[in-house]
């Protein structure tokens, strides 16, 4: 009984996927002119290229921020797990996690990624 349900749902899914692909191909409009392919900038033509060079220091700081932001987002549920675990295991896990955070920060500092070079 379950195999029949799985088979029928798989067939229905495949049929719907093929139908959506065919409808997308059939209804595709190929009218592309200069206005549609250029970026909209308040009705004005763009004067410069869209690829502007940026400072590598800003990029490195943004990447470091994202890494530490994700690590903090992983640390918050760890606090909620204190209810379900013993204090010793919670202390060991959180200490190890914070040790990894501090080690990463010290590595970035030692590599000079946090130094602002003018």
Look at residue 93 in the predicted model and tell me its pLDDT: 84
Q: Is residue 16 in a domain?
A: no
Q: Is residue 32 in a domain?
A: no
User: How many domains would you assign to the chain?
Assistant: 1
Q: Is residue 75 in a domain?
A: yes
SS (H, E, C) the chain: CHHHHHHHHHHHHHHHHHHHHHHHHHCCCCCCCHHHHCCCCCCCCCCCCCCCCCCHHHHHHHHHHHHHHHHHHHHHHHHHHHHCCCHHHHHHHHHHHHHHHHHHHHHHHHHCCCCCCC
Q: Is residue 101 in a domain?
A: yes
Q: Is residue 29 in a domain?
A: no
Look at residue 67 in the predicted model and tell me its pLDDT: 84
Look at residue 59 in the predicted model and tell me its pLDDT: 81
Q: Is residue 74 in a domain?
A: yes
Q: Is residue 104 in a domain?
A: yes
Please give the residue range of the domain that contains residue 72. 61-111
Give residue 35's pLDDT band: very low, low, confident or very high (50, 70, 90): low
User: Which pTM was predicted?
Assistant: 0.46
Look at residue 73 in the predicted model and tell me its pLDDT: 86
Taking residues 36-53, report their average pLDDT: 62
Q: Is residue 79 in a domain?
A: yes
């Amino acid at each position: 009984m379950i195999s029949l349900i799985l088979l029928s749902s798989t067939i229905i899914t495949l049929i719907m996927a093929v139908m959506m692909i065919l409808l997308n191909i059939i209804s595709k409009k190929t009218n592309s002119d200069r206005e549609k392919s250029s970026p909209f900038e308040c009705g004005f033509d763009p004067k410069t290229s869209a690829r502007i060079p940026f400072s590598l220091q800003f990029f490195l700081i943004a990447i470091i921020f994202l890494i530490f932001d994700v690590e903090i987002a992983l640390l918050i549920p760890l606090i909620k797990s204190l209810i379900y675990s013993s204090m010793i295991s919670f202390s060991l896990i959180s200490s190890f996690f914070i040790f990894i955070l501090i080690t990463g920060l010290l590595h970035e500092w030692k590599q000079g990624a946090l130094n602002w070079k003018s």
